[in-house]
Chains A and B, each alone.
Chain A
Amino acid sequence: QVQLVESGGGVVQPGGSLRLSCAASGFMFHYYGMHWVRQAPGKGLEWVAVISHDGSIKFFADSVKGRFTISRDNSKNTVFLQMVSLRPDDSAVYYCAKEVRRSDYYIPFEYWGQGTLVAVSA
């Protein structure tokens, strides 16, 4: 079955950096685009970034553009989120999610991981 396991979260000071990882299993990883989504404590969900199956296409939310980068290693079935210049409002649980296309319909988040917590605080 599909499994997505995030890691790399923790406590970081404002202006600091973190790299999140998401290890995937149970599907042909190199066929699918992958997303990051976050949820701040007590707040709603926010889409963060997407990377295409081969890493050639990437999109970011305006709130993270220029500070976050997304990458993947298809040989290791892993997608990454590099976060720099972190701010307190980046504090959230970060989820990775797998896309799927069914006939003509695109589902950006078919499966989700359990999430990893990032806390940006002095």
Chain B
Amino acid sequence: DLQMTQSPSSLSASVGDRVTITCRASQNINNYLNWYQQKPGKAPKLLIYAASSLESGVPSRFSGSGSGTYFTLTISSLQPEDVATYFCLQCDGVPYTFGQGTNLEIK
């Protein structure tokens, strides 16, 4: 199966900081990469699809980039409400596989 390696596994940053999370695919997945946010006790929420397309209603401080095997999720100015777990998903084909997740906290 295609493996997704996400880093870091946890991250602590200050309000206003620029935060970057990365995902690497074990093989070329073109742009079949989505990013999700999950807050405790809540359903995961789609943030970014097709590697760089912002989902409707998601704040513009979130952005995604990359193609092939290397992808990033960036929060340009961290806000308190961004505390959550973030994970990537490759959707190049079944079985779909996820990154291990990044727990983001406010310093």
In contact, B95 and A47 (Cβ under 8 angstroms): yes
Q: How far is the CB of B24 from chain A (nearest CB, A)?
A: 15
In contact, A50 and B91 (Cβ under 8 angstroms): no
Chain A interface SS verdict (over half): strand
Q: How far apart are the CA atoms of A106 and B99 in the complex, in Å?
A: 19
Interface string of A70-113 (1 = CB under 8 A from B): 00000000000000000000000001000000100111111111
Interface residues on A, range: 20 to 34
Chain B 33-50 per-residue mask, 1 if CB under 8 angstroms from chain A, else 0: 010100001111110011
- The answer to whether B69 has its CB under 8 Å from any CB of chain A is no
CB pair B46 A108 closer than 8 Å: no
Nearest Cβ in chain A — how far from B76, in angstroms? 23
User: Are B96 and A47 touching (Cβ within 8 A)?
Assistant: yes
**Taking CB as reference atom, which chain B residue is nearest A96?**
B43
Given A44-B99, A112-B43: A107 in contact with B49 (beta carbons within 8 A) = yes
Q: A113: which B residues are within 8 A, CB to CB?
A: 43
CA distance A8 to B100 in the complex (A): 27
Partner of A109 from the list B53, B89, B99, B100 (CB cut-off 8 Å) is B89
What CA separation (Å) do A105 and B89 show in the bound complex? 14
**CB-based closest 8 A-B pairs:** A112-B43, A45-B98, A47-B96, A44-B100, A112-B44, A59-B94, A105-B50, A114-B43
Q: List chain A residues, Cβ under 8 A from B36.
A: 109
